[in-house]
Structures are given as C-alpha cells and as structure tokens.
C-alpha cells in the first residue's frame, strides 16, 4: 500500500524534528532533576507572543525532568500603576525611592497581577505553577539597602536613603523544596519581609541570584533586553569567568545597568551555582536554545 502524497511530503520535516530531539537528549540528561532558576523580565514580559513562548519553554523544562524556578520583575508595570494612582516617584542616583505608598503598589503589582498572569500563561500551556513571593513561608528575609553617591559639588560621599528597598539577607528553601517535590513550578515575586516586619521591594536579579545560590542551582538564567555581555566593539562575549567579569568592570567595558547583573552572577557562582547565563529574552525560545542546544543564546559565566 503506497503512502499518500501528503504523508510523503511531511517526512523530511518529521526527520528534522526527530534529529533535533536526538541532539537535545544529552543536554536533557545533563539537567535531569537539576534546579534551573530563570529571571524573567524586561520587554519580553510585556509582549504576549514572547510571554507564550517563555511559558512553553518553562513547561517543556519541567516535563523533561528539570526543576525550573521563575523569578520575575515588573518595573514598567509598577511605573504605570503609580502614574495611574497619581503617586509621584522620587529618584536618587537613578534609583527609585520606595516610600510606604510606593511599596504597597509594588507588592500589589508584583505579588498580585504580574505573578498571577505568569502563572496563568504557564497553566495555559499545560503546566502547573504556584505563585509566591519572598514573604511566603519566610522564604526570603530582607534587609534595607544602603547606597552611597559622591556629591558632584562637594565631592563628599553621601548615604542615599532609598526607603523600603531591600536586599536578600537569608533564604529559607523549605517552601521551594516542598513545591518542587510536588512537581509544581514556583513563580516568585521579588517582595520580601524584614526582621522588623516591614515589606521590602527587592531587585529581581538580586532576588533570583539569592534563590539560585540557596537552591544550589545548576543554572541561573538572566533574561534581559540585550544579547548578553558585549565587548567594547559591541560584539557578544560568549564565555567569561569571574576574573574576566571583574577585569571588564575595572576597564570600563561593563558599565551602567550591566554591572549589578554581573555582581549578581558573581554572588550566585560563589554560592555554588554551576554557571550563569545572561541572554536576550526577546529571542523566541531563548531558554531552550541555551539549555538544549550546542548553540547557546547569550554569555555564559563560570567560576573559572
């Protein structure tokens, strides 16, 4: 019995798909039952198609035996809600000052609307996600961030009071262990509580680094709006070590907003994360490209 023309025409594509799966096998085996922390934010989070691609990636990771943990940001959404409510933001040295009214909006947006939206996207792709924040189960205890700046007029270093902006002080992994053992996908909002009971807004990259370190993650993926770390000629640097990172910060190659991301990478690596990747979240299925192919999708950073 001869096969129908339509079936014959499909065979080449089927063979390509099978070859792709075979090539992905060793990568899947490498990450089997390992924790992968993914920081999700930037413009990729605001685009519906990109969000659906991301949700598909996360569900596929979980289905293939990996234990993904998603940490998300939401700066643009917070800004829009503050504007809608008529709450004016004050900035010091480019950083938003988080007063009591602002931190309440931050918690509402991050731990509420954005968190549940991502949980919904993952659910729509067949996954089972649980939305949490650092407050749940005392997962993350924060301390107030202290920052300094040099006054350009007096050349005197001054301490900046950023209000209720925090940084992780302690991570209790008990809740995450329980959620992962139930084969659920944790989706975490970077809101935490201090020992004083005060709510703190935590930078999402920093929060993700602390979670990755506490969970001894195999990989920490930082999804950004750029291809990765760029050299002075704006070419992608495919691989780096901690020493490379410090050298490129010192010589001015790594500047501005990339510096705190690199500091988060170093922090996570020094706490046992095997490797960190900074990659472009706007590239479709960038998470799968990075983890399941030889190609990679950004800058890979290792201890040495």
DSSP 124-158: HTT--EEEEETTGGG-EEEEE--EEEE-TTT--EE
Instruction: Give the position of tokens 């205890």.
Output: 141
Residue 37: partners with Cβ closer than 8 Å, 6 or more residues away: 68, 69, 71, 208, 211, 212, 215, 217, 219, 220, 221, 273
In the numeric block, which tokens belong to residue 233? 């000629």
Cα gap 235→101, rounded to integer Å: 42
Helix, strand, or coil (residue 267): helix
Place of tokens 């999700």: 40
Measured between alpha carbons, how far is 69 from 148 in angstroms, rounded to an integer?
32
Give residue for tokens 């750029």. 226
d(CA 240, CA 245): 7
3-state secondary structure 36-95: EEEEECCHHHHCHHHHHHHHHHHHHHHHCCCEEEEEECCHHHHHHHHHHCCCCCEEECCE
Binding residues: 74-75, 96, 201
Residue 59 contacts by C-beta under 8 Å, 6 or more apart in sequence?
A: 122, 125, 126, 127, 185
What are the binding residues for substrate? 74-75, 96, 201
């Amino acid at each position: 019995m001869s096969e129908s023309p339509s079936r014959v025409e499909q065979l080449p594509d089927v063979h390509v798909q099978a070859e792709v799966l075979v090539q992905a096998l060793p990568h899947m085996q490498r990450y089997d039952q390992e924790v992968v922390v993914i920081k999700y934010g930037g413009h990729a989070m605001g685009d519906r198609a990109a969000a659906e691609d991301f949700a598909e990636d996360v569900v596929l990771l979980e289905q293939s035996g990996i234990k993904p943990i998603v940490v998300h940001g939401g700066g643009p959404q917070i800004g829009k809600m503050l504007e809608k409510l008529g709450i004016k933001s004050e900035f010091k040295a480019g950083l938003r000052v988080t007063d009591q009214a602002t931190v309440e909006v931050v918690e509402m947006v991050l731990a509420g609307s954005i968190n549940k939206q991502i949980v919904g996207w993952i659910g729509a792709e067949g996954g089972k996600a649980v939305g949490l924040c650092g407050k749940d189960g005392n997962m993350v205890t924060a301390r107030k961030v202290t920052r300094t700046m040099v006054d350009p007029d007096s050349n005197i270093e001054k301490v900046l009071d950023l209000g209720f902006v925090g940084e992780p002080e302690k991570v209790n992994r008990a809740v995450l262990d329980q959620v992962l053992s139930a084969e659920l996908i944790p989706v975490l909002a970077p809101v935490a509580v201090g020992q004083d009971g005060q709510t703190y807004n935590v930078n999402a990259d920093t929060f993700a680094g602390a979670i990755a370190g506490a969970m001894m993650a195999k990989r920490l993926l930082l999804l950004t709006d750029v291809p990765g770390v760029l050299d002075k000629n704006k070419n992608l640097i495919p691989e780096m070590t901690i020493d490379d990172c410090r050298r490129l910060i010192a010589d001015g190659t790594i500047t501005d907003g990339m510096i705190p991301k690199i500091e988060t990478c170093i922090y996570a690596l020094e706490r046992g994360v095997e490797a960190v990747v900074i990659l472009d979240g706007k590239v479709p299925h960038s998470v799968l490209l990075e983890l399941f192919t030889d190609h990679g999708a950004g800058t890979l950073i290792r201890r040495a």
